[in-house]
């Protein structure tokens, strides 16, 4: 189903529709087939106008078995279309998910437009000339369904045919069978009287440019490669595979020609240790992980704080605690990124708002890390990582230049000598000099023990320690981030809806619905979480009420209450799924009505 969704999405993107996707799949490599926990789904929302979410209520559900129907039926609006593979609705399959009768026959789906189609049988009939086994032939029913849906919505199948020719170039029988299945599905839609209606969705109006469909993990990978090129630093990724961050490692390994080196370490600690070592050696050190891996990396991140070297820690958040829900989304690692190290160990934190925004925030993470000589957390999540949307490929000439400003000569001069002091700071950024090991005259020692200001010698002096702690905090507090922008069209809103990370889309869609219903509502979104934009407090105090939806139990709300002494109204959900726009619209309108 993931492949089917990917191919339909690719054709939709090529056609020029705006789109948003929500892949949803089990954590097990071989999930129990036909069970509710084993359902794999791919939701796609596409339109001829700007959209922000994968949608709340699908208009069409393709159910390959009873489990898929039962798992998703509650999301369908009355009148929606259901296409069900009758071959899989056997007594055994129905009983496995708790059906006492066949819903395709017992009238329980009377409020939907049900198309009971023998997808498996027709696929096998179409593939008889290829001599495949029953099991092999039945695997192509997803391609038959793709062809049928492509006909229904006027999508071309040419790109899918080209894809199959490439993917199965060395397996002629499998290649030809899948191509035939796609075409058979298209032809069935064209000729059957069961599907009398097809739909045409025009391209969405977009600014001129070159676009492609992109997932958050791919955009983040490209952003890191771009940061490497814009800083003229070789990129080193030290990583241990973990869902849902592993695709970044896979993608980055393809870009050796851009000076990217990837190291699949034996564990999380080795991955971050190698990345920090690469930064010490003059590279852009990056490590990727999810929440459980951040816990293991924490000591080395603390070392990076003490060394004051650039390091990017990408945390693609997932449901927890412990191994929790590996393939489901959550944004509950904010406090871990903020405080999850011993002692006072501040780090900047940024969070992209959408899959495409992962590119820009990866660039920003690199800019901050290199400019201020500090580890930086980038908080993505499973929804952004696997979801996709159109991305306008930027002109490379417009990308910002990142200057590593390596130390090249001694920086401390006395009457009779010149020395290199590794902790003599830039007065503007408070960043210490970054000297590549082996540079003549700039030999220096680093380590986890507290450093003396300036010289970098090991120091146990209480006054020096207090000064260094405060200086490291001041450096992070002084990171240059843009002001928080507010969308308040009428200027008279009394309710501000605030968000961070991947809640941008659902909140934006909810705000749009509330405004269409006559409510005057303002919206703001935080992409910089530490330090917060300088005008954050002023904006929060400007409105009578602030609503903050989060996919956690109120982590950012707690930080904002403590810092700005304002009563933030939290709306929290930890279901492993993104918010629904209708749900947020109802909450927004309810809060506005109380003012």
Output the domain CATH number for residue 576.
3.40.50.920
Residue 122 pLDDT exceeds 90: yes
198 domain residue, yes or no? no
Q: Same domain for 281 and 151? A: no
Name the domain count of the chain.
Answer: 4
Q: Same domain for 70 and 118? A: yes
Cα–Cα separations (whole angstroms), residue 349 to 156, 276, 502, 510: 42, 18, 15, 26
Task: State which of 366, 397, 428 marks the end of a domain.
Answer: 397
Q: Same domain for 369 and 223? A: yes
Residue 108's φ and ψ, nearest 5 degrees, are: -70, -15
State whether the Cα torsion 98-100-106-107 is positive or negative: negative
Q: Same domain for 472 and 498? A: no
Tell me what the mean pLDDT of segment 95-117 comes to: 96
388 domain residue, yes or no? yes
Q: Same domain for 344 and 456? A: no
Residue 114 pLDDT exceeds 80: yes
Q: How far is CA 49 from the centre of its chain?
A: 23
Q: Looking at residue 36, what DSSP letter applies?
A: S
Task: State which of 397, 419, 434 marks the end of a domain.
Answer: 397
**Among candidates 486, 482, 485, which has minimal Cα distance to 532?**
482
What's the count of helices (H) and strands (E) in the chain, helices before strands?
A: 20, 21
Q: Same domain for 125 and 29? A: yes
Tell me what the mean pLDDT of segment 426-441 comes to: 96
Task: State which of 480, 513, 528 marks the end of a domain.
Answer: 480
Q: Specify the CATH number for the domain of residue 11.
A: 3.40.920.10
Q: Is 136 exposed, middle or buried (0-12, 13-18, 19+ CB in 10 A)?
A: middle
203 domain residue, yes or no? no
- Any idea what the Cα angle at residue 36 is, between residues 34 and 38, rounded to 5°? 65
* Whole-prediction pTM: 0.95
Q: Same domain for 474 and 516? A: no
- Rounded percentage of the chain residues whose pLDDT exceeds 70: 100
Contacts of 59 (CB under 8 A, 6+ apart): 77, 80, 81
Tell me what the mean pLDDT of segment 150-167 comes to: 94
Using only C-alpha atoms, the chain has a radius of gyration, in whole angstroms, of 27
Residue 417 pLDDT exceeds 90: no
Q: Same domain for 359 and 220? A: yes
Q: Specify the CATH number for the domain of residue 260.
A: 3.40.50.970
For 348-376, the pLDDT digits (tens) are: 999 999 999 999 999 999 999 999 999 99
Q: Looking at residue 501, what DSSP letter applies?
A: G
Cα–Cα separations (whole angstroms), residue 345 to 251, 437, 473: 31, 25, 8
Torsion from C-alpha of 481, 580, 584, 554, nearest 10 degrees: -60
For 124-149, the pLDDT digits (tens) are: 999 999 888 888 899 999 999 999 99
Q: Same domain for 551 and 443? A: no
554 domain residue, yes or no? yes
Q: Same domain for 262 and 121? A: no
437 domain residue, yes or no? yes
Q: Same domain for 273 and 386? A: yes
196 domain residue, yes or no? no
pLDDT at 135: 87
Residue span of the structural domain in which 521 resides: 486-593
CB 547 within 8 A of CB 496: yes
- Rounded percentage of the chain residues whose pLDDT exceeds 90: 94
CB 233 within 8 A of CB 272: no
Q: Same domain for 495 and 539? A: yes
205 domain residue, yes or no? no
């Amino acid at each position: 189903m993931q492949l089917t969704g990917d191919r339909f999405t690719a054709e939709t993107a090529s056609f020029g529709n705006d789109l948003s996707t929500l892949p949803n799949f089990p954590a097990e490599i071989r999930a129990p087939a036909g069970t509710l926990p084993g359902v794999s789904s791919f939701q796609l929302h596409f339109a001829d106008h700007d959209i922000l979410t994968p949608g709340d209520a699908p208009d069409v559900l393709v159910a390959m078995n009873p489990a898929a129907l039962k798992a998703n039926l509650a999301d369908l609006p009355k009148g929606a279309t259901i296409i069900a593979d009758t071959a899989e609705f056997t007594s055994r399959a129905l009983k496995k998910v708790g059906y006492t009768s066949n819903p395709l026959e017992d009238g329980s789906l009377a409020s939907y437009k049900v198309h009971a189609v023998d997808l498996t049988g027709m696929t096998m009939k179409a593939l008889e000339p290829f001599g495949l086994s029953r099991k092999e032939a039945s695997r192509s029913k997803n391609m038959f369904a793709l062809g049928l849906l492509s006909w229904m919505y006027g999508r071309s199948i040419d790109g899918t045919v080209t894809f199959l020719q490439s993917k199965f170039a060395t397996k002629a029988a499998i290649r030809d069978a899948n191509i035939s299945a796609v075409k058979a599905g298209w032809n069935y839609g064209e000729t059957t009287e069961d599907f009398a209606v097809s739909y045409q969705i025009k391209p969405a109006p977009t600014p001129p440019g070159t676009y492609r469909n992109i997932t958050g993990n791919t955009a983040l990978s490209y952003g890191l490669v771009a940061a490497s090129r814009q800083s003229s630093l070789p990129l080193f990724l030290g990583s241990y595979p973990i869902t849902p961050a592993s695709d970044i490692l896979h993608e980055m390994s393809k870009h050796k020609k851009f000076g990217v080196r990837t190291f699949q370490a034996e564990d999380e600690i080795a991955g971050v240790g190698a990345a920090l070592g690469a930064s010490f050696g003059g590279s852009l050190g990056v490590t990727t992980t999810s929440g459980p891996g951040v816990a293991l990396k924490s000591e080395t991140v603390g070392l990076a704080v003490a060394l004051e070297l650039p390091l990017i820690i990408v945390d693609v958040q997932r449901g927890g605690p412990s191994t929790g829900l590996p393939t489901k989304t959550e944004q509950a690692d904010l406090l871990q990124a903020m405080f999850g190290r011993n002692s006072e160990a501040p780090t900047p934190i940024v969070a992209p708002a959408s899959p495409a925004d992962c590119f820009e925030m990866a660039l920003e993470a690199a800019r901050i890390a290199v400019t201020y000589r500090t580890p930086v957390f980038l908080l993505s999540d499973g929804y952004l990582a696997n979801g996709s949307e159109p991305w306008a490929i930027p002109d490379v000439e417009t990308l910002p230049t990142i200057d590593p400003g390596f130390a090249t000569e001694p920086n401390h001069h006395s009457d009779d000598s010149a020395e290199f002091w590794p902790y003599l700071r830039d007065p503007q950024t408070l960043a210490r000099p970054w000297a590549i090991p082996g540079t003549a005259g700039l030999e220096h020692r680093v380590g986890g023990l507290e450093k003396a200001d300036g010289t970098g010698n090991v120091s146990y002096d209480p006054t020096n320690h207090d000064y260094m702690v405060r200086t490291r905090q001041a450096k992070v507090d002084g990171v240059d981030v843009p002001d928080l922008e507010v969308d308040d069209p009428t200027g008279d809103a009394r309710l501000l809806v605030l968000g961070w990370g991947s809640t941008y889309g659902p909140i934006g869609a909810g705000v749009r619905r509330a405004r269409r219903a006559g409510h005057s509502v303002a919206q703001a979104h935080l992409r910089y979480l530490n330090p917060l934009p300088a005008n954050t407090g002023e904006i929060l105090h400007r409105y009578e009420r602030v609503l903050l939806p989060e996919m956690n139990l109120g982590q950012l709300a707690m930080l904002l209450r403590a810092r700005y002494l304002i009563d933030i109204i939290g709306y929290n959900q930890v279901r492993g799924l993104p918010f629904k726009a209708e749900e947020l619209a109802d909450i927004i309108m309810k809060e506005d009505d109380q003012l």
